[in-house]
Amino acid sequence: MKTRIYNAKIITMVNGTDIIEGEIHIEDECISFVGTAEEAGKIKDGIVWDREIDACGNVVMPGFKDAHTHSAMTFLRSYADDLPLQEWLYNRVFPMEAKLTEEDVLWCSKLAIMEYLTSGITANFDMYMKNESNAKASADTGFRTVLCGSINDFGGTIEEIEEEYKHFNNYGSSLISYQLGFHAEYTTKRETLEGMAGLAKKYKAPVYTHNSETKAEVEGCVERYGKTPTAFLDSIGMFNYGGGGFHCVYMTDEDLNICKEKNIWVVTNPASNVKLASGIAPVKKMLDMGIGLAIGTDGPASNNCLDMFREMFLVTALQKVSIPDAAAVDANDVLYMATVGGALSMGLTDCDTLEKGKCADLIMIDMHQPNMQPVNNISKNIVYSGSKQNVKMTMVAGKILYEDGKFNIGTDAEEVYAKANESITRMKQA
């Protein structure tokens, strides 16, 4: 499949938010050319295109990477709202999750994927259960997913995590990969945590986990081990090969120094954190320290929508108001976090920028909308005034999965909606 997109404003993210007025060529799953129309004219003669797309001056850029998700939790959207985190988790979420089947996870994950596509998200980092169904949902629809281990005291063993690591990293689809992970320090006994650190050492692999999301979580860890979650996990060798922390709201200076030294990515989830009243992560401080930053939506049970535009706005706006400093966390830094930062945090080094040889995971932003005009600064328009209505096209691995409001995922949208509603109805009645 050979696709040519021309007459585009291209933000490659190679040199920040610089714009190339030109075109991009895709051959099968990869980008074969990015450059000006003049440069393209020297190479495109004689090429037979399967499709040529006139971008009409719209923006083409790398897709957003949702670096922390629980996709199948779409079944709990608007089911457990307006509750504090621990009550939400233990009294509402866990009991319903115990009723989930493989089929539920398949269809509820497909529903999430549809929502990702409408938000210009081309890959997600998913921590959930029944990963075979999760992987199948992504492979079936053509979406890119990095699975993350989620072992804790409620389920899973070190042996199972190791098997998943080997299985999903040799899944037979370039769309599926896997990273070591566990749910959180406070849900996982020390013996298991030490086993996870052992796997990290064995495979020289990074490890990812929920980290320091609430004050109570941090205080509990200090009471158990005399250290914060970050410091304790580092002390047992968990991050000797890097990794990542989801949320990282309550971080000490020692914690942040460990993140910097051990190449621990911080994935901030502002909408979920404010909705659950967990707090505001010190993103500006992390940014100033050079800590790797990415953005996640968290799950649709706590957010409740999978909207990267809302997350980007909140990342910068919450820093400005909490410091307070209107200059805090520039929109261009946020756009980097949502694209390149997300990709690198997930290990997707071929999906971060628009360059020859990279994966063709890209989106088109409709500039012919009132919220994108006038064109004073395109990147800041995207972060501060952009919305899902501006996502005109989402492409993953060279295949257009969403365009002009229509899905191309191999399944009818109404069937997905019906199956997801069947799942939650059955669980409520069980």
Residue among 51, 52, 54, 23 at smallest CA distance from 36: 23
The secondary structure of 144-192 as a DSSP string is EEEEE--BBTTB--HHHHHHHHHHHTTSS-TTEEEEEEEEEGGGS-HHH
Give 82-105 pLDDT, tens digit per residue: 887 788 888 888 888 889 999 999
Counting every residue written for the chain, the total comes to: 430
pLDDT at 57 over 80: yes
Q: Kindly give the residue spans of alpha helices, DSSP state H, lying in 339-408.
A: 342-345, 378-384
* pLDDT band (50, 70, 90) for residue 44: low
Rg (CA), the chain: 21
DSSP 8-state code for residue 63: P
Give 328-348 pLDDT, tens digit per residue: 999 999 999 999 999 999 999
Tokens of 92: 């509402």
Q: How would you label 270-285 residue by residue, b for 16+ Cβ within 10 Å and e otherwise?
A: bbbbebbebbbbbbbe
Residue 93: its pLDDT value, please? Answer: 86
Give 394-420 pLDDT, tens digit per residue: 999 999 999 999 999 999 999 999 999
Q: CB-side exposure of 172: number of CA atoms within 13 Å?
A: 5
Strand, coil or helix: 305: coil
Mean pLDDT for the chain overall: 96
Q: How far apart are CA 318 and CA 60, in angstroms?
A: 28
Q: Which residues pair with 54 in a beta bridge?
A: 6
pTM across the whole model: 0.96
Chain centroid to CA 189: 27
Q: How far apart are CA 385 and CA 370, in angstroms?
A: 10
Cβ atoms of residues 11 and 61 within 8 Å: yes
**Which residue in the block uniquely carries the two structure tokens 């210009």?**
120
Q: How far apart are CA 164 and CA 143, in angstroms?
A: 19
Residue 427: its pLDDT value, please? Answer: 85
Residue 115: its pLDDT value, please? Answer: 98
DSSP 8-state code for residue 389: G
Residue 415: its pLDDT value, please? Answer: 96
- Please state the φ and ψ torsions of residue 368, each to the nearest 5 degrees: -90, 50
Single-letter residue type at 147 = L
Residue 90: its pLDDT value, please? Answer: 86
